[in-house]
Amino acid sequence: GAAAGDYSPNAALNVLACIGNKAEVVSGEARGSTGRVTGKHGGIEHVMIDFGPEVLENLLIGDKILIRSFGVGLKLLDFYPDILVMNTDPALFDSLNIKAGEFLEIGVAHQIPAKIMGSGIGNTSAHSGDYDIQIFDEKAIEEYRLNDLKLGDIVAIIDSDASHGWIYREGAVTIGVIAHSNSVVSGHGPGVTTMMTSARGRIKPFQDSKANLINYF
């Protein structure tokens, strides 16, 4: 383990960066170009950023990128503490397809059962990293349209509570974004970075084929 007094700048970046935060290249040939944070990948502890193809062509290993982190501590006062928000820029939250009443209704591209979720279980916090969808069962792939998953899709994980790390809890709902693609390693698959969670089921997802970050940025 780390010695007393040790710290990790990368761990701080992983917690403080929020989906939707502006990222600016501040050195190299692509200096001045901007993109957006799209998620976090646990294990290797990467912050995922989307840049346009013309920017990627000019990026080199070692170029510096400044993320203007904003959103940690965001609370929905009308729903708190029944709904916890994490990893989400408030400007992105305002752009989501949301209807607020007794429940927070939100449009999602897919609804996925907690029973097929894998890597990420055991983490003590969902404020960094991600929670993988296992794509190994042909029946589940067909039933939940998992072949149609896209990077940036907003998804609901049913019977999942991410309040203190990801766990199975009947009636709970977790909302997240697809941050990375598939894997052939057991227990792994497309990664979901958490955006909000309700242990008490105060979130109600509804189908929205346009629920993808590309339509909100």
Q: pLDDT tens digit string along 121-159?
A: 878 889 988 998 998 888 988 988 888 999 999 999 999
Asked whether the predicted pLDDT for residue 92 surpasses 90, the reply is: yes
More confident residue, 76 or 4: 76
- Supply the pTM of this predicted model: 0.91
Lowest average pLDDT, out of 53-62, 73-82, 127-136, goes to: 127-136
User: How far is Cα 194 from Cα 40, in angstroms, rounded to an integer?
Assistant: 9
Using an 8 Å Cβ cutoff, are 106 and 154 in contact? Answer: yes
Q: What letter would DSSP give residue 147? A: G
Taking residues 6-12, report their average pLDDT: 78
